[in-house]
Amino acid sequence: MRVSGLRCNDLVTRPPVQFGFMTYSSSTTVAAQRLESATVTRLFVNSYQVEPQAGAWNWSEVDEAYQQAIAAGLRPLLVATDAPCWAQTSCNLLFGAPPSPAHDGDWSAFITRLVQCYPLAIGIEVWNEPNLAGSFYPQANPGRYTQLLEEADKATKAVNPAMPVISGGLAMNGAVGIAAGNYADQTFLTQIFADGALRWTDGLAVHIYPTVQSGGSEVWDPAVMSQWLGPVERIASAAGAPDLPI
């Protein structure tokens, strides 16, 4: 967080920082988050979970997790991901996969219902680590991901124009390039910006694991975060969005 150059009223008008965790939702984990003064929790909503057969919706598990969070004062960040088999081009239950283009309407309907059902969510995050083949089977695809981001943003804003839409948290796997169906974070981010993602997102999500080698083992070092965030900020700035929230 930069503080240099702030005007006095910036500290008043900027929204408060939100703090929370990503964890499986249960009464125990929700209680633990509140003990740490969390205000947000990251909650996965898989499309295959709520619509296992076309048109057969079941929101019971998500309802329970959402209600537990809200009752504890936690606002869920809803991670919309993983098309059901009937909407995929080729189904593999071991991996997350996007819907085929023929089922973009079903993806939009899923997002629409998600926003309608859970109006107290803090935002919609579109996918999880879409730069990895294991999350976007059979191969990460920036162009296709940007299409899903666009559809999700349009569907969200049609229900609630104030609901933020966040790009899927990138697995920060280093530098540039493509290997074994995976995109390096910088390559993927640069490409989705080139494909127009800036128009369809209110913020970027990144997954940073700030570790360094020390004495032959890996240790946590929050200072390393700047090494990961610096390139992300530079790519966003080069794309014309220097102030896009991360």
In a domain, residue 8? The reply is: no
Neighbours of 100 (CB within 10 A): 15
- pLDDT value at residue 134: 93
CB 147 within 8 Å of CB 104? yes
Q: Give the pairing of strands 40-46 and 20-22.
A: parallel
pLDDT at 175 (0 to 100):
63
* Domains: count for the chain: 1
Find the helix packing angle between 142-159 and 104-117, rounded to 10°.
Answer: 40
The pLDDT value recorded for residue 91 is 86
Residue where the block lists tokens 């740490």: 36
Q: Is residue 6 part of a domain?
A: no
3-state secondary structure of 206: strand
- Domain membership of residue 93 (yes or no) is yes
Give the Cα separation of 107 and 101 in Å (integer): 9
Count of Cβ atoms closer than 10 Å to residue 98 Cβ: 26
In a domain, 11, yes or no: no
Has residue 14 been placed in a domain? no
Question: In this predicted model, what pLDDT tens digit does every residue of 190-238 receive, in sequence order?
Answer: 999 999 999 999 999 999 888 888 888 888 888 888 888 999 999 999 9
Which pLDDT tens digit goes with each residue over 97-138?
999 999 999 999 999 999 999 999 999 999 999 999 999 999
List Cα–Cα distances, 13 to 10, 81, 238, in angstroms. 5, 33, 27
Token pair belonging to 147: 């299409």
109 CB-contact burial (10 Å; exposed 0-12 / middle 13-18 / buried 19+): middle
Query: For residue 243, is it within any domain?
Result: no
Range of the domain at 140: 21-238
The pTM score is 0.90
CATH, residue 227: 3.20.20.80
Does residue 44 lie within any of the structural domains? Answer: yes
Contact 63, 103 (CB under 8 A): no
Residue 244 lies in a domain: no
